[in-house]
Structure 1
Amino acid sequence: MIIMIIKLTLALLFGLLIGLDRQMKQKQLGMRPSMVICIASCLLTIVSIEAFSKFGGENHPNMDPMRLAAQIVSGVGFIGAGVILRRSNEVISGLTSAALIWSASALGIAIGAGFYKEAICGIVLLIAAVNLIPGLMKLLGWERLNRYDVSLKVVVESNSRMTELIRHIQRNPAPAPASEDRKSTEKAEFKIRHFKIKDLDSNRQRMDLLLSVPNHYYLSEIYYYIKEFDHVLSVEAEQL
């Protein structure tokens, strides 16, 4: 029992390390799916190893009790793939949901094989990985973890100051109200992760941007901040 808990806990911690590395580099695979996949994989491995000693033996030397369970894992993987969406600006969503669907099959296999303690420990760690640990990491104040992505579609008049507009968006955050922590707020910046420009009719152009912004900015602040720029005709903003 203790060894099993240690294995699952180490799987959670190692998945957390991988997820932190990906999330700090603003990649799609973050903390939640990394931890969920690592825990579920560890649980399936434990069940597979223990199932042979539980159901096999000298009387059944060629028995493979996990053969059918392996097909369940593959089949549920296709269901999980169905909830992964590729949105505009190369943004992918649904990774955590897909990982949880796959992990649910691992829990079902563990329960069906009679590994109740392993299943209980697994579901506790899965819930902690999805709901508790990411919030705890953000409370530590790491700036790269306290950001979210915003998709912007900005229609502008054709002009020669496009580069200046892009630099202004990237280097200057929205104005913050005067307060004691104004200095710390002014250090934040909007980072352009993806950029696309397209010609429209009537001498107009559309910019598609993916911005990484600090959590303390509301989407409405960003919308009005971009709206106030010269030559901007319309703005469409979406929080991802």
Structure 2
Amino acid sequence: MMFDPFLKLGISAILGMIIGLERELKRKPVGLKTCLVISISSCLLTIVSIESAYVFPLKDHITMDPLRLAAQIVSGVGFLGAGVILRRGNDSITGLTTAAIIWGAAGIGVAVGAGFYWESAFGVALLIVSVELIPFLINFFGPKQLREKEVMLQITVADEKNIAKVIEHLKRQEINIKTMRIKDVEENEHLLKLRAVIDQKRSTAELYYAIRSIEDIVHVDIESG
């Protein structure tokens, strides 16, 4: 059909837009425009790859792989995905979901370009369910470990003899300490660098007030994802 490529590009744009809106609503670096470009471009390259295998046959009866060009999209998009993966100063990694969304948008574009419309639509639905609904359900019904979030704490304690007491108070506040580093900063002041986990529903402000109420704490710095 003459208009079949245009139909594929249109469907790819709609599905890419759905994926991009999900990222846009979460204020992620890869949003609507990026997902649209990836999905449409992947679809276009897949169409070109398939059509060129039949429109421009090689001489001497050498056959072309219809998806040869499209196969390179998967590896090519990997470089784009790597650009949104960040390593913070506390050694935590962010951006993995966004990188996976980029790869998924490219996959949707390839699938639509190859003519798998219903499979592509179902794939987008599963993507949205996977990143939106399933984490929401896990927060209520999942194991305790999946209902916790990691925080990085920097606490300045007034006197070294108070360090053990402060740590004990933190445990009473249901702050589960995973790693701890102690550093002398000034005379009679000591810095505790802690990696801890708390309940997912607990706000950063609530955590700050709980820690700041502990005696002998001079400064508090909290980083929460």
- Seen in structure 2, the aligned counterparts of structure 1 residues 87 and 111 have a Cα distance that, compared at 3 Å, is same
Match of 1:236 among 206, 221, 224: 221
TM-score (norm: length of structure 1): 0.63
Q: What's the counterpart of residue 200 of structure 2?
A: 215
Asked if 2 retains the 8 angstrom alpha-carbon contact of 1:89 and 1:210, the reply is no
Residues in 2 aligned to 1:222 and 1:67: alpha-carbon distance in whole angstroms: 54
Is 1:112 matched up with 2:113?
Answer: yes
- Seen in structure 2, the aligned counterparts of structure 1 residues 86 and 75 have a Cα distance that, compared at 3 Å, is same
- Percent same amino acid among aligned pairs? 42
1:231 deviates by 2.3
Aligned positions of 1:41-60 closer than 5 A? none
Q: What's the counterpart of residue 206 of structure 1?
A: 191
1:126 deviates by 0.5
The DSSP-based 3-state class of the residue aligned with 1:229 is coil
Which of structure 1's runs of 4+ aligned residues deviate more than 3 A?
A: 59-62
Amino acid of the structure 2 residue aligned with 1:210: R
Number of corresponding residues = 171
Match of 1:191 among 164, 176, 191: 176
- Seen in structure 2, the aligned counterparts of structure 1 residues 130 and 61 have a Cα distance that, compared at 3 Å, is farther
Residues in 1 aligned to 2:201 and 2:121: alpha-carbon distance in whole angstroms: 37
Structure 1 unpaired stretches of 5+: 1-47, 174-188
1:131 deviates by 0.8
Residues in 1 aligned to 2:151 and 2:93: alpha-carbon distance in whole angstroms: 13
Q: What's the counterpart of residue 157 of structure 1?
A: 158
Residues in 1 aligned to 2:140 and 2:164: alpha-carbon distance in whole angstroms: 36
Asked if 1 retains the 8 angstrom alpha-carbon contact of 2:156 and 2:191, the reply is yes
- Seen in structure 2, the aligned counterparts of structure 1 residues 194 and 75 have a Cα distance that, compared at 3 Å, is farther
**Which structure is larger by alpha-carbon Rg, 1 or 2?**
2
Structure 2 unpaired stretches of 5+: 1-45
Asked if 2 retains the 8 angstrom alpha-carbon contact of 1:158 and 1:204, the reply is yes
The DSSP-based 3-state class of the residue aligned with 1:216 is coil
Could you give the per-residue CA deviations for residues 96-130 of structure 1, whole angstroms, max 9, x where no partner exists?
11110111111111112222122111111111111
